[in-house]
Amino acid sequence: MFGLAKGTTLVNDKWFSQIEAVSLVSALLLALATPSLINEWLIDKPLEKMRCFCSKVKQGDYRERLALPNESRDRDDEDAITLLMRDMNWMARQIELREQELKQAVETVRKSRQHIEKQNQSLAETNAELMVIQGRLNERTTELENAFQKMQVMALTDPLTTIANRRCFFDTLEQQFAALVCSCRPISLVMIDVDRFKTINDTFGHEAGDKVLRELAGIIQKYSRENDLVARIGGEEFTVLLPGAGSREAVVVAHRIKTAVSSRIFELGDEQRISITVSIGICTLSKTPCFARNNLYNYADQALYHSKNNGRNSISVFDPIIRSVVKVS
C-alpha cells in the first residue's frame, strides 16, 4: 500500500506518514512475537499434554491416549513431537497390556492358591478320617490278635481242667524229640489213669467226676517239675512229659504224684467225700535207635496197662532195651 502511494499526494499527507510509522512498528512487533507464539503452539502445548499424560500413567491410568492425527505412511513427514507422542501412546498401550497380563497372572495364582487350600483342607479332612480308620483298624487288629491268641490257647487247652490237651501234648512231644535227638539227651513220659473212674461217675454223677478230674490235674501239675508238660489226653487219662529226665527222675516224679493223689480226700459236695488212686506207666528213651515218638508213647501206654492189670495204684516202667515192663511201686 505504501509502495503504491509513492509519487502521489498521499505521501505528503502527515496522517499517512503516521499510519506508515504505526504499520512499521506493528510489523516489527509482530515479527518479534511470532517465534514465541510458534513456540507456545508447537512445543509448549504438546509438552503440557505429554506432562498430563505422564502424570496419569504414573497414577496407573493407561486408558487415555494423546490426541494425534492419523498416522501417515511416511513417518518422516511428522515432526519429532508428534512421533514422541505416538511412542508415548504405544508405551502406554504396552504397559496396559502388561498390567492386564499381570492381573490375569495374579488372579490365576489366587485361584490356584484357593484351589490348593481347598485341596489341602480336603486332604487334611481325609487324613483325619484315615487316622480314625487307622485307629479303628489298630483296635480291630488288636482284638483279632487277642482273639487269635485266645483261640490258640483254647485249641491247645483242655476246657475242663485248663491244662494242655491232646493236641498240645503231641505237638510238644514232636518238638522235644527234634531238640533231644540233636543233643542226645533223654526224655521220659509218665502216663496216669484214674482207677475205677467209671464207678465215680455212675455213683456220684458226671459233675462229681469232672470235679475229681479238675483237682487231679492240679495235683499232677503241683508235683511235676517246673518245665514238665502236664496234659489231659482223654477221659481220665493224663500225661507228664519230662524233657531231659532219665528213668530214675521220672519214677521220683510219678511216686510224688501217686502219693499225693492217694492221700487226698476229694470233696464232692453235700458232705460227700471220696479218695481215689491212680495207675502210672513210665518209659524213658535215651539211645538214638530207640528215639521214636510213637515208641515212647506206646511203651509208656504198655507200662500203664501193666499197672492197671496188676493191682492198680501202682507204677510200672517199660525198659526199651529188653522190651519188658517192670512194676516198681
Residues designated catalytic:
236
261 contacts: CB under 8 Å, gap ≥ 6: 216, 219, 276, 277, 278
Measured between alpha carbons, how far is 191 from 254 in angstroms, rounded to an integer? 9
Measured between alpha carbons, how far is 168 from 157 in angstroms, rounded to an integer? 7
Measured between alpha carbons, how far is 316 from 191 in angstroms, rounded to an integer? 10
Instruction: Specify the residue for cell string 509519487.
Output: 7
Q: Is 282 exposed, middle or buried (0-12, 13-18, 19+ CB in 10 A)?
A: buried
Sign of torsion over alpha carbons 77, 83, 87, 88: negative
The continuous run of DSSP H or E covering 28 comes out as helix 14-39
**Contact (Cβ atoms closer than 8 angstroms) between residue 266 and residue 215:** yes
